[in-house]
């Protein structure tokens, strides 16, 4: 597996792959890799000839006062995991390499970023779209893989590619969970034992909300109230940013549920901000 730290090395490697007629599957990450990340790598390996993974903790997507400085890192462990999962190259640039002095260009998706995490993390998605477009220009992938764990991010990137005619196919991948239902996340490392246990309520509340809708509850407020009650019972809950039921495509709040929706939650347990979600497809068969 090749390890590249400069943009020019990465670009010439991609160019040589394309010259040999190979397709490139790309998985952008911030490192501290877990099975969720590796599921994207696996999908990319199935669908493309060479898999490139980037590891970059992107400062422009961390709003002031968030966890940029303590974001977990384990470069050696990450490289070992990627190597044993058959990745062709890993791209690990420095902040200076990505944002040299004088940097001043940003990309923004304006509507899809207004609700959910965009409401609570000003500037976050502008940082995400900017870095992803830069990474696409560097890696030149045919397909790029994003987890539905960050559902809004997936929709925002999909929109950016459509709007700016970026010739990269965005492939959404299912959420990978721990045995007790907690969505895997690099940020779970921040949780104490008690917080870790309490945090499983997020997934259970979302599943309860999904069940209510599939059993014909149409009033979003009622579903949200039930979920909120469940989550608020947990002692280590610090704050709920949102419990929302939104249109699957526009991500706008829905009050009467008569089409496919996303149930999405962002809440703090201790100092860890956790997000999770589930799609609710109305006319699919449902096994209660």
41, 274, 62, 153: CA torsion to nearest 10? 50
CB-CB contact of 257 with 218 (8 Å) = yes
Residue 249 designated active-site:
no
183 binds ligand AMP (CB under 6 A): yes
Nearest alpha carbon to residue 278 among 204, 219, 218 = 204
Q: Is 37 in the site for ligand AMP (CB under 6 A)?
A: yes
Query: Is residue 217 helix, strand or coil?
Result: coil
185 binds ligand AMP (CB under 6 A): yes
Nearer to ligand AMP, 126 or 149 (CB): 149
Among 81, 121, 143, 149, binds ligand AMP (CB under 6 A): 149
Q: Which stretch binds ligand AMP (CB under 6 A): 67-75, 107-115, 141-149, 250-258?
A: 141-149
Which positions from 67 through 126 interact with ligand AMP, judged by CB under 6 A?
none
Number of residues that bind ligand AMP (CB under 6 A): 17
Contacts of 36 by beta carbon, 8 Å cutoff, 6+ apart: 147, 149, 175, 176, 183, 184, 185
Which one of 37, 124, 203, 249 is the catalytic residue? 37
Name the DSSP class of 259: S
Q: Contact between 130 and ligand AMP (CB under 6 A)?
A: no
CB of 96 to ligand AMP, least distance (A): 20
Strand partners, 272: 269
Query: Which of 98, 171, 173, 267 is in the footprint of ligand AMP by CB under 6 A?
Result: 173
| Length of the chain in terms of residues written | 288
DSSP state of 176: P
Residues marked active site are found at 37
Residues lying near ligand AMP in the complex (CB under 6 A): 29-30, 36-37, 39-40, 146-147, 149-150, 173, 175-176, 183-186
């Amino acid at each position: 597996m090749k390890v590249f730290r400069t943009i020019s090395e990465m670009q010439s490697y991609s160019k040589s792959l394309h010259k040999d007629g190979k397709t490139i599957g790309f998985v952008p990450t911030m490192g501290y890799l877990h099975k969720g990340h590796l599921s994207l790598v696996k999908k990319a390996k199935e669908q493309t000839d060479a898999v490139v993974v980037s590891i970059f903790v992107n400062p422009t997507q961390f709003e002031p006062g968030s966890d940029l400085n303590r974001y977990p890192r384990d470069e050696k462990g990450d490289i070992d995991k990627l190597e044993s999962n058959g990745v062709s190259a890993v791209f690990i640039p420095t902040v200076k390499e990505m944002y040299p002095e004088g940097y001043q260009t940003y990309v923004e998706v304006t509507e899809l970023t207004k609700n959910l995490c965009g409401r609570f993390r000003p500037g976050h998605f502008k940082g995400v779209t900017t870095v992803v477009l830069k990474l696409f220009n560097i890696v030149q992938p045919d397909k790029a893989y994003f987890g539905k764990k960050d559902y809004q991010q997936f929709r925002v990137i999909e929109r950016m590619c459509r709007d700016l005619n970026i010739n990269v196919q965005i492939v959404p991948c299912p959420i990978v969970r721990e045995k007790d239902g907690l969505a895997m996340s690099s940020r779970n490392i921040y949780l104490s034992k008690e917080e870790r246990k309490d945090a499983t309520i997020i997934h259970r509340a979302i599943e309860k909300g999904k069940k209510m809708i599939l059993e014909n509850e149409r009033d979003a407020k009622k579903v949200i109230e039930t979920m909120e009650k469940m989550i608020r019972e947990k002692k280590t809950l610090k704050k709920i940013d949102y419990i929302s039921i939104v249109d699957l495509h526009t991500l706008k709040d829905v009050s009467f549920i008569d089409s496919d929706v996303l149930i999405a939650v962002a809440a703090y347990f201790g100092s860890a901000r956790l997000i999770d979600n589930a799609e609710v497809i109305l006319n699919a068969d449902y096994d209660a």
